[in-house]
Structure 1
Amino acid sequence: MASEDVKQRGEAAAVSTFVNLAGEAKAATEGVKSPRHALLSISKSLAAGGIAGGVSRTAVAPLERLKILLQVQNPHSIKYNGTVQGLKYIWQTEGFRGLFKGNGTNCARIVPNSAVKFFSYEQASKGILWLYQQQTGNENAELTPVLRLGAGACAGIIAMSATYPMDMVRGRLTVQTAKSPQQYRGIYHALTTVLREEGFRALYKGWLPSVIGVVPYVGLNFAVYESLKDWLIKEKTFGLVQDNELGVTTRLACGAVAGTIGQTVAYPLDVVRRRMQMVGWKDASTVVTGDGKKVALEYTGMVDAFRKTVRYEGFRALYKGLVPNSVVPSISIAFVTYEVVKDLLGVEMRISD
């Protein structure tokens, strides 16, 4: 009898232990996502970033094309003189389609670029925040503007490097005219032609100033946008916050401020990059010297391109095309579109989280 009682108690204890272990295992795995769920979440995040990039660039495509034309036009043969005149000239000489010339190539580049950029920022933010919390010993620590700047810089470098050949080809297709020395029929033809005739390195012309420029540009975009949003929400400034969220108009304004600051700081590097891409292909690299001779410029590197641009055209040349690029910063549209699409797709984490 006593042995049966001991046996029953032993069985009860075993069952209890099993139940407790099962409960602990369930609690431990509740926060762990299945591989399928994680893959779906990543796919949605990449899709949101890609859609954001495509929508934002298409919305400002005419201004984007005018910016590039202003950046590379021959200073002694001015065709585009300002935003309004430049857009009217494109309309008159090339029609409506001319305003969106190169946009297909631009979207083919910007969609994967934007997808990688936003996703990389989220991952870099999580990694940097974890390191910061470990270093400070404060599990409740939040990202600071400097840490956001670092995460944005990492995201920009990764995205730029991954899609740079497409950006180089897009630049050439955008400025291509009937008189251009090479006529590219499309993205694939341009890529293969450059690779065959100029070599693999030509696909990465201007990469260094691009990477250097993307650090302050993308870094400041994310840092200013997120910090400004965070400040408005915490301070509940001007009654702009409803249910701990900012409206679309307010977020667009935050993005516009971030984009304007970022591109103003990094713009000279963008001009130099574009000019290095066009060397040997278009008359944009041709200048007229003091004695009236035309000289086709060749750049030995980023510093040389800066020096020759300032020497022959003055410091203002480093900011050619900045005004049309500042009218409607595409980054503001991209930020808001990204967050809206992620809401629609039901992705749990946003860039603010």
Structure 2
Amino acid sequence: MAVDWQWENAAAGSAAGLATVTFSHPLDVVRTRFQVNDGRLSNLPTYKNTPHALFTIARTEGLRGLYGGFYPAVLGSTVSWGLYFYFYSKAKQRYLRSREELSPVLHLASAAEAGGLVCFCTNPVWLVKTRLQLQTPQQARPYSGFHDALRTILKEEGWRALYKGLVPGLFLQVTHGAIQFTAYEELRKMVINYRTSENEEFSPEDSLDSFDYATLGASSKLAAILLTYPFQVIRARLQQRPSIDGTPRYMHSLHVMKETARFEGLRGFYKGITANVLKNAPAASITFIVYENVLNMLKLARKKDL
């Protein structure tokens, strides 16, 4: 029996997300800790740079510290990528009903739609991941794991706390994914057109290899990071655990923006970007290599079933 092609996209996206998180999680921990360190009172140690942060966390907290929040990261990334590719392919299919080819604007609309839907579904998972990544052994009443964090947040802060950072998260998901996928699709189209024009024996499916997918994935990711990174900082600062008396450090997105601009300037909105680029550029390459190759395998299996 043939497999529905949207579910092939979801399966390929989930596999890609799992591979990505496993490879890059320690850098994600470092990025999150840099993002929330606003130079004022903090329970987190201060790091000089990304290598120093990795070394310090490994020395003082061990592998547990480097992989803090790994379970929700795997869960969130696997679910997010699967849903993202599924919603993205569904949106593209809907737009293609009335035209032969999608324009950059429709690629952008498809990616934005997918990003918004994914954000609503996964924000609680990302909040728990952020909380676990910011834990140190010295922290009072630390969460013992994902399920304990979820229960504690619901008990102490209510269900609304699970959606802290949703507004910047929505902007991040919609704009980041839209920019990344639009850039990827347009660059991919340019390379395919160039290859097929140079050699007419090439079919579009055969004109790209894993190196091409890696290069296209990293290039599109870098463009998206540079344009959307401040949203990540705002979301991480909103998602911090409140103090013992229950008072949050930041009240809402506008408060974060005002305080960050006032005390740290533009640099404050780009804290942790080095770790983010080191994490996401190669991670995006892995994601699209796995995604495209898994998708091609599933397509071949479907053709055999026909």
Same fold (TM over 0.5): yes
Shorter-chain TM-score range: 0.7 to 0.9
Check conservation: 2:25, 2:66, Cα contact below 8 A.
Answer: yes
1:117-157 per-residue CA deviation (whole Å, 9 max, x = no partner) reads 011000011112334x2xxxxxx3x1122211111111111
- Equivalent residue in structure 2 for 1:270, among 232, 238, 255: 232
1:245-272 per-residue CA deviation (whole Å, 9 max, x = no partner) reads 2121121111111111112111101100
Displacement of 1:83:
1.6
Task: Give the unaligned 5+ runs of structure 2.
Answer: none
1:144-180 per-residue CA deviation (whole Å, 9 max, x = no partner) reads 2221111111111111111110000000011111222
Displacement of 1:99:
2.3
Q: Which has the larger radius of gyration?
A: 1
**Is residue 2:25 matched to residue 1:58?**
no
In 1, the alpha carbon distance for the partners of 2:248 and 2:151 equals 25
**Is residue 2:218 matched to residue 1:256?**
yes
SS in 2 for 1:233: helix
Q: How does 1:1-353 map to 2 (within 5 A)?
A: 37=2, 41-76=5-40, 79-131=46-98, 133=99, 140=100, 142-236=101-195, 243-244=203-204, 245-278=207-240, 280-281=242-243, 298-329=249-280, 330-346=283-299
1:265 maps to a residue whose letter is L
Runs of 4 or more off by more than 6 Å in structure 1?
A: 237-241
Q: Share of identical aligned residues, percent?
A: 31
CA RMSD of aligned residues (A): 2.5
In 2, the alpha carbon distance for the partners of 1:125 and 1:42 equals 10
Check conservation: 2:217, 2:285, Cα contact below 8 A.
Answer: yes
In 1, the alpha carbon distance for the partners of 2:26 and 2:156 equals 30
Q: So what's the TM-score if we normalise by structure 2?
A: 0.87
Instruction: Considering Cα pairs closer than 8 Å and 6+ residues apart, tell me whether 1 or 2 has the greater RCO.
Output: 2
In 1, the alpha carbon distance for the partners of 2:250 and 2:292 equals 41
Check conservation: 1:45, 1:347, Cα contact below 8 A.
Answer: no
Displacement of 1:237:
9.2
Task: Give the unaligned 5+ runs of structure 1.
Answer: 1-35, 134-139, 283-295
Count of residue pairs brought into register by the alignment:
292
In 1, the alpha carbon distance for the partners of 2:35 and 2:198 equals 41
1:26-70 per-residue CA deviation (whole Å, 9 max, x = no partner) reads xxxxxxxxxx745x5444432221111111121111111110011
Q: So what's the TM-score if we normalise by structure 1?
A: 0.76
